Amino acid sequence: MLELADHILDISENSVRAGATLVTITINEDVDLDVLSIEIEDNGKGMTEGEIEKALDPFYTTKKVRRVGLGLPMLANAAEMTGGHLELSSTPGKGTLLKATFGLTHFDRQPLGNIIKTLIILIAGNSTVDFFYKHRHNGSQFKLDTREIRKEIDGLPINHPALLKYIRGVIEEGLLELKQGAESAPKD
């Protein structure tokens, strides 16, 4: 995986396969601390301590299609290459929290990539799951919550093409405002 958005997609899909009905994705860019963090939290079936250890082993996977599970080990390696780290905590029956931190401006940090495409893929492909996306850049933030969208759509499926186009526009506008807010912020 060459972009962090690919990792986010992979981990979020794992959450869905684990029975999650809500996946919260938080990206925090802190320029002052030179840290980029990604948190993915779900309310899926959770994991035991032993399963957490296995999940970080590249030669273990619960998927039947392939015999290796490189997603989490690759993300952990990507974080460590930038001076960051990966934390994974889980409670059986309650869900899982993954937090990866990266050196924001570190030369080896993978680009965030196309987060808009990732979110649209998740929403379109998992119409019964809710996604709460939060993106912070210093003092500014953008939020998208499919639970709020569902309240306004009068029974229209959330993966209806016209609705996905609308959601894409909301995300594009929100992230553009976030970027413009970061660029216009006073510099020390």
In this prediction, residue 55 carries a pLDDT of 83
pTM of the model as a whole: 0.90
Calculated CA dihedral for residues 116, 30, 41, 6, nearest 10 degrees: 40
**Residues spanned by the domain of 69:** 4-184
If one counts the domains in the chain, the total is: 1
* Of residues 71, 95, 90, the one with CA closest to residue 21: 95
In this prediction, residue 59 carries a pLDDT of 65
Three-class DSSP category at 116:
helix
In this prediction, residue 57 carries a pLDDT of 74
DSSP structural state of residue 44: S
List, in order, residues 6 or more apart from 186 with CB less than 8 Å away: none
The tens-digit pLDDT sequence of the chain (188 residues) is 689 999 999 999 999 999 999 999 999 999 999 999 999 999 999 999 988 888 887 665 555 554 444 688 899 999 999 999 999 999 999 999 999 999 999 999 999 999 999 999 999 999 999 999 999 998 899 999 999 999 999 889 999 999 999 999 999 999 999 988 766 665 55
Domain CATH for 25: 3.30.565
In this prediction, residue 180 carries a pLDDT of 84
Distance of CA 185 to the CA centre of its chain: 26
Spatial contact of 53 and 72, defined as CB atoms under 8 Å apart = no
Cross-strand pairs, 102:
36
